[in-house]
């Protein structure tokens, strides 16, 4: 019981860090262009994971990265680079609360993409998909209709699809390799590629490339999203899931969207209408139910 409680607290802390990181990501763009910011903080996350790998590997025989680990790290890194940069750009145009809940839709999108891999979708999951679509409509589509839609919400929705692809790639490679090493490599790949892309993509999007002074002035946002959101939260997730059932772990982690909503209201003064709050409630319910194990959704006939 003590181990399970400790695992749940670790996962709750992970969700809290990820949720509040949306605020740091948005604040960091006050001085730094979105793709450059994402590249810098991802590289910091990669370097911060190196001590974790060294500590966890003490007493073990040193091994060179295998082919599967290298390929998996590159594939995961490219997927993370795409999803993270799209999310960062979307955050520039929309609120933290919107971004948190829309991004969390990857939980529902993953099974839909699984159709292409010939994976079965249960009737309950279809209900969750429909419910999340209704919630997304209330959250993102103003009373004025589709003509008044926020472009940032559209961008973040694309990001949710990319994160779903990223999860499927991780699902393929993670059972075959060391998870922390895979994460470290993917952060290095995502960071390096993002920095290179930012040199021409950020100016093309109308953003000025950051100076060294801009980076130093944004140190708190960069370090929080790099060290806390990437390396610390990921490590806590790994340790927490070892002591918690997968279904419970996923339900705790989906609280990320709720923490993002609360953080946006408290730290940035964001305000939501009753219509948007209702949309968040419906989406969270759909995400929560989508995380429940099938056994828990079956109605007993006895």
Could you read off the pLDDT tens digit of each residue along the chain, which spans 302 residues? Answer: 666 778 778 888 988 998 898 888 888 888 899 999 999 999 999 999 888 888 877 666 665 668 888 999 999 999 999 999 999 998 888 888 788 878 877 777 877 777 776 667 777 777 877 887 788 777 776 665 555 578 888 898 899 899 888 888 887 887 888 878 888 999 999 999 999 999 999 999 888 888 889 989 988 999 999 999 888 887 787 777 777 665 566 667 777 878 888 888 888 887 777 887 888 888 778 777 776 665 554 543 33
- 298 domain-assigned: no
- 302 domain-assigned: no
- 157 domain-assigned: yes
Domain limits for position 250: 2-58+65-291
- 265 domain-assigned: yes
- 276 domain-assigned: yes
The pLDDT value recorded for residue 145 is: 58
- 301 domain-assigned: no
Instruction: Report residue 209 as tokens.
Output: 């490339």
Instruction: Report residue 228 as tokens.
Output: 């806390």
- 300 domain-assigned: no
Count of domains forming the chain = 1
The pLDDT value recorded for residue 35 is: 93
Taking the model in full, what pTM does it have? 0.81
- 297 domain-assigned: no
């Amino acid at each position: 019981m003590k181990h399970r409680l400790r695992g749940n607290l670790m996962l709750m802390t992970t969700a809290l860090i990820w949720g509040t990181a949306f605020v740091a990501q948005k604040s960091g763009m006050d001085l730094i262009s979105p793709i450059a910011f994402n590249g810098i903080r991802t590289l910091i996350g990669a370097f911060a994971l190196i001590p974790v790998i060294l500590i966890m590997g003490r007493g073990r025989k040193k091994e060179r990265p295998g082919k599967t680990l290298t390929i998996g790290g590159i594939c995961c890194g490219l997927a993370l680079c795409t999803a993270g940069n799209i999310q960062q750009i979307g955050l520039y145009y929309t609120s933290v609360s919107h971004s948190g809940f829309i991004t969390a839709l990857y939980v529902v999108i993953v099974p839909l993409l699984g159709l292409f891999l010939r994976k079965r979708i249960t009737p309950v999951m279809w209900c969750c998909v429909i419910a999340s679509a209704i919630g997304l409509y209330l959250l993102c589509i103003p009373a004025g209709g589709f003509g008044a839609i926020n472009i940032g919400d559209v961008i973040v929705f694309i990001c949710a699809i990319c994160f779903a692809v990223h999860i499927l790639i991780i699902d393929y490679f993670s059972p075959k390799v060391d998870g922390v090493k895979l994460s470290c490599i993917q952060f290095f790949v995502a960071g390096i590629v993002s920095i290179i892309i930012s040199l021409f993509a950020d100016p093309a999007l109308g953003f000025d490339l950051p100076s060294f002074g801009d980076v130093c002035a944004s140190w708190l946002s960069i370090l929080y999203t790099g060290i806390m959101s990437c390396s610390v939260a990921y490590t806590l997730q790994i340790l927490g899931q070892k002591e918690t059932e997968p279904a419970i772990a996923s339900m705790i982690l989906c609280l990320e969207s709720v923490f993002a909503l609360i953080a946006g209201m408290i730290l940035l003064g964001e305000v939501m209408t009753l219509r948007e709050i209702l949309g968040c409630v419906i989406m969270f319910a759909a995400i929560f139910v989508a995380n429940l194990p099938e056994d828990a959704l079956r109605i007993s006939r006895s």
